[in-house]
Amino acid sequence: MSSVFDALAAPRRREILRLVWEKERAAGDIHQALDAVSFGAVSQHLRVLESAGLVARREDGRFRYYIARRKDLGPLGKWLESTWDEALTGLKSLAEADEASAPARRRRRGSRRSKP
C-alpha cells in the first residue's frame, strides 16, 4: 500500500494522474498519450496510484479503465488543480517565489554529473 506522498513523488505518476483527471482512460490509451515510456512502466505506475487511493480501476473485457478519484481527494485535489493552473497561467511557483526572496547565495562549485 503506497502512501499518497509516495505516489505523487514521481513526475511520471503526476502526469498519468492528470491524464485521468477528467475522463476515464484505458491503460493502453494512457501509454499512448505518453512518450518514451514502456507499457510495463505505465502499468506499474498505475498500480501505485491505485494503491494510494488516487485512481479507481474498472475492468471491462480486456481493458482496464482508470480515472482519478477526485471526489475523495478533497483539498489534495484542489491543490493539484492549482499547480496545474499555475503552470498554465505562468504564476510563480512556491519555489520560484522563494528564490526571489532569498538573498544572493552563489558559490556553486563543479557539476556533479559526469558526461560519458
Partner DNA sequence: CCTATATTTTAGTCAACACTAAAATATATG
Partner DNA sequence: CATATATTTTAGTGTTGACTAAAATATAGG
Is the Cβ–Cβ distance between 46 and 16 less than 8 Å? Answer: yes
Using CB under 7 A as the binding rule, whether residue 114 contacts DNA is answered as yes
Sign of CA dihedral 96, 100, 105, 106: positive
Using CB under 7 A as the binding rule, whether residue 23 contacts DNA is answered as no
CB of 105 to DNA, least distance (A): 7
Q: Give which of DNA, a copy of itself, none residue 79 binds (C-beta under 5 to 8 Å, depending on kind).
A: a copy of itself
Backbone torsion region of residue 97, taken as left when φ is above 0, otherwise alpha when ψ lies between -120 and 50, otherwise beta? alpha
**Residue with cell string 483527471:** 21
Bridge partners for 59 per DSSP: 64
Q: Give which of a copy of itself, DNA, none residue 91 binds (C-beta under 5 to 8 Å, depending on kind).
A: none
CB of 53 to a copy of itself, least distance (A): 3
Query: Would you say 90 or 102 has its CB closer to DNA?
Result: 102
